[in-house]
Structure 1
């Protein structure tokens, strides 16, 4: 279930500067899409406001994600976005479709799904679904930073707030 990673999931690749810029834009749009369902999950799971702070800081490489509730929020958001299949694994087709819907080309979308799948496999032994999602999310973040695709959260938050 920790398929949050998809949300966090689904964010980017590049070879030249324009590819990096467009991948960063895709990741920003994907992150924004996840944040939009956050409020629903926050209410359903009775999560504290600290979740907002953790998710705001998600893309900061030096920010420690330790709160199990972040993982639970990711699981909830991933379910709402239909990114988890019936077995609790990342639904590759839906994840790829979501990335494309937010501007990724086929290559970038496939790369995002591949990263998520690898992160999922790495943490498959974790039984607690919320903790598994948290670990997948951290793995995903690390890999997206290696590609220089991480969005700037101040831009994401500004866009989300203007749409509300």
Structure 2
């Protein structure tokens, strides 16, 4: 399992990180696909609904994201979305394609992959894969906030509710 599995939550949510507001259709597609994969992983990893709190608050910088299980879920989701290579590391091409497919432009998709890659380098030495991915996710979140690309939680939640 690689650190690059952070990519799922990151890319799924980060696709909303375009310089132009994403369309409602793109957000609906992103969030509905994300929710479907999340549910699979929740069941597969035998996790309760508490994991949803971390994911709901993901983009809030003041939210600590301390639950190791969040990292494990991110790993699972990234694997299901084919965002990892054979070594369990982020597959740059697949990650970029995923972002493009979900509404990001070329430059934004490349920047998303670049931020994740830089964050992964910072946490290469962590032995616990789930904790490593959690740290990479927090690093990515900070990088996206620095660019002021973070999506609005209300948009994500409303689109998810429409799909349920």
Relative to the length of structure 1, the TM-score reads 0.88
Q: 1:119 aligns to what?
A: 119
How far apart are residue 36 of structure 1 and its match?
3.0
Secondary structure of 2:10's counterpart equals coil
Flag the 1:30–1:23 CA change in 2: closer, same or farther, 3 A.
same
Can you give the 5+ residue segments of structure 2 that lack an aligned partner in the other structure?
A: none
Q: 2:105 aligns to what?
A: 105
Matches for 1:69-84 after TM superposition, within 5 Å: 69-84=69-84
How far apart are residue 34 of structure 1 and its match?
2.8
Q: 2:10 aligns to what?
A: 9
Secondary structure of 1:3's counterpart equals helix
Q: 1:20 aligns to what?
A: 19
- Counterpart-to-counterpart distance in 1, 2:88 and 2:35: 21
Secondary structure of 2:21's counterpart equals helix
Secondary structure of 1:21's counterpart equals coil
- Counterpart-to-counterpart distance in 2, 1:54 and 1:67: 8
How far apart are residue 163 of structure 1 and its match?
1.5
How far apart are residue 160 of structure 1 and its match?
1.3
Q: 2:147 aligns to what?
A: 147
Deviations 1:11-50 (A, max 9, x none): 1698xxxx6333798x956862433310100000011211
The runs of 4+ residues in structure 1 deviating greater than 4 Å are: 27-31
- Counterpart-to-counterpart distance in 2, 1:13 and 1:42: 23
Deviations 1:74-94 (A, max 9, x none): 000000001111111100000
- Counterpart-to-counterpart distance in 1, 2:45 and 2:78: 14
Deviations 1:60-81 (A, max 9, x none): 1100000000000000000000
Contact 1:13 1:108 in 2 (8 A): no
Relative to the length of structure 2, the TM-score reads 0.88
Contact 2:5 2:89 in 1 (8 A): no
